Structure 1
């Protein structure tokens, strides 16, 4: 997206963007709603550190658009300023200044006057930390020591109990860190926060699935058997959803020992659909290739218990925001971008199309395998266990070596 065009959202769209962000929607979901990349949405949110701006309200003392239209009609009919003011029950000086401020009688237009008045009414409140250098210095010195904003706020109240000018809320500190336009606290101080996050996340993001940490009875990756780590035994898989445009996805499964990949068409990313599609494919595998599955914290695997019952494959989940813990799958998804570039509508591909791509990938020599192919590596491993090689037929021709 060209620079300068990334933030062209109307006022209504911006309000809707913040509403979606506050409700916990992800950057990708918000971007799709407005036909923009998630990077553009992040740029807009980062300008305010992810903190929803306060809703603006008109003062009851200001002229309304309806009153300005009455002024415009009064001018057009030749009424005097005093007559117009009397009809509005407003002071003459209020109407006189209003007309003079917006071009005088010949140029006065109600809608334009109302727009200009709304824009000029902005009165940014000066931040407490910006006007008190001593307080700002103390806050910064504590943050450098890795204190949290809440600890700093409470400490100030304890050490300056009778001096309210030295009190500042932790929310004010956070805003001064996240909204750099305030120019109060240096951006580098964010690195001393525990999360090191540059943008405020919605408190509803967990429930919406963005933080992806609320999967019932999820088994941690830390409980995986040691045999999974050394890749010596086949049958341990890593999985994820590869995202495309128009909310389309492909489920990807990669076997850790051989790097053998399977691509599975999923009509949607809801957990029932994804689990059913995965179960159908995994059940085709011989028992020696059904040992475990490691997944990200995506809510599409919320019904992991159903998957385990259907396939006898236990599911382990990565730590939140730790996709590197299933690096084999992440690397394979990167390779798949050669065939499915970002912003590609993945819904147009049939299962047969996906099988052809998987075949290409599985027949490519891999450096990490000593330039063996994933297909030959897996077939040799399964043969060594005594499993008949006829099992390849269960995958369909696409998975033959």
Structure 2
């Protein structure tokens, strides 16, 4: 039995219950649990119309969020990248919640001409849990990229990398 298995059993309470600080690894190898989570509802990117992939018409967007750091003072930016023109917008948000993203989306949708948003492709982060309200309020179809498949939203990921040059982590 490997030491990882033994420590996992210790942390789960299968072997003994007690203080793990007296052990050699002292519990330091435990990875932090993601508290924000993911969700598995919504339309998959495979259901998205083929014309979106070809970049032939305006109005198909990729959305994401960029967080400044992992500390207590988290600044967050909602990013919007249009697929055909590569038009890129970044809107500052107070935090990384679905309510903040909904406000940022509304701000961008109001500042652009009506009908500018036909589809949006997003990842499965918790900040996009408001996708049903966005679809009904703004008449946009929202599609979710596959987990760990950032290339499916390449325009936005590339633009976020350029944004990071001017706003590195911690700034």
> TM (normalized to structure 2)?
0.78
More relative contact order, 1 or 2 (CA 8 Å, 6+ apart): 2
Tell me, in whole angstroms, the C-alpha distance in 1 between the residues paired with 2:19 and 2:31: 25
1:255 to 2:82 alignment:
yes
Q: Relative to total residues, which structure has the larger strand share, 1 or 2? A: 2
Mapping of 1:156-175 within 5 angstroms? none
Distance 1:295 1:56, change over 3 A: same
Residue 238 (structure 1) aligned to one of 38, 45, 62:
62
Structure 1 residue 289: Cα displacement: 2.0
Corresponding residue for residue 226 of structure 1? 50
Q: Cα deviations across residues 342-379 of structure 1 (Å, max 9, x unaligned)?
A: 121xxxxxxxxxxxxxxxxxxxxxxxxxxxxxxxxxxx
Corresponding residue for residue 14 of structure 2? none
Name the SS of the counterpart of 2:155 in structure 1.
helix
Distance 1:52 1:327, change over 3 A: farther
Tell me, in whole angstroms, the C-alpha distance in 2 between the residues paired with 1:286 and 1:248: 28
Mapping of 1:1-400 within 5 angstroms? 48=4, 51=8, 53-54=10-11, 56-57=18-19, 208-210=35-37, 212=38, 214-215=39-40, 217-245=41-69, 246-344=73-171
Instruction: List 4+ stretches of structure 1 deviating above 3 A.
Output: 47-58, 199-202
Larger Rg: 1
Structure 1: give runs of 5+ residues left out of the alignment: 1-46, 59-117, 125-198, 345-401
Tell me, in whole angstroms, the C-alpha distance in 2 between the residues paired with 1:57 and 1:284: 57
Structure 1 residue 332: Cα displacement: 0.4
Structure 1 residue 320: Cα displacement: 1.6
Q: Relative to total residues, which structure has the larger helix share, 1 or 2? A: 1
Name the SS of the counterpart of 2:165 in structure 1.
coil
Asked if structure 2 preserves the Cα contact closer than 8 Å seen for 1:307 and 1:313, the reply is yes
Tell me, in whole angstroms, the C-alpha distance in 2 between the residues paired with 1:283 and 1:270: 20
